[in-house]
Amino acid sequence: RITWEQLQHYNLCLKTPKQKPVLKTAVDESLIIKYVDMLKENKLEHIAYLLLGGARLSHIVYMLNTYSPGEIVQHPDGSYDTRIMCFMPRANFCRYYLGIRAGSKRCDYIYFLAYPIEKQVISYRKLRDKLRHLGVQAKLFRKYVNQVIEQLAIKHNIRLDAVNLILSRELSVTGAHYLNTRDWADKLFSIYVEYLKERGLVE
């Protein structure tokens, strides 16, 4: 036998946390097209092409500040190779190994549409404020890329692990399995580039 107060305390312990809604709203593609045009008009085409790869703005800034494409580094599958791999002219995109972890956010690779990239010392806050001044919401690019490549993965029977690799989410695969997942991610991104061309987002 327990008291009423003890019963209430016990019931509170049994309560499960509130569930977050799982409903996703789509990003209007016309808005992304507008953003890309605005960035091109302001000589930020390289930022547009990096954002269209689905990378976080903070990781893009880190990449620009430390850009070293010819450096030989160890990749997650254990192999040693240059940081960058470009698939041109066949697929017209590049994959750059960043290999960082900041808090809970990791980033193995940044996928981006083929465009001349140079090392550029710039602060995250400065670039973020510049985009805000233009009225560009950088986070919507990542959400847009996610919704498009998920649909393309399902349509082309590609494992969703490939989506997670492109968007730098946690992966539970290593070694040969990681290499296989990366191959699928490369294939998925090449399909995504063709999709962007069809929509007039890239030439």
- Compare 8 and 153 and report the one with higher pLDDT: 153
- Compare 203 and 163 and report the one with higher pLDDT: 163
pLDDT of res. 202: 82
Residue 20's contacts (CB-CB under 8 Å, 6 or more residues apart) are: none
Residue 72's contacts (CB-CB under 8 Å, 6 or more residues apart) are: 80, 81, 82
Distance of CA 57 to the CA centre of its chain: 9
pLDDT in tens, 132-191: 999 999 999 999 999 999 999 999 999 899 999 999 887 766 667 888 899 999 999 999
pLDDT in tens, 111-123: 999 888 999 999 9
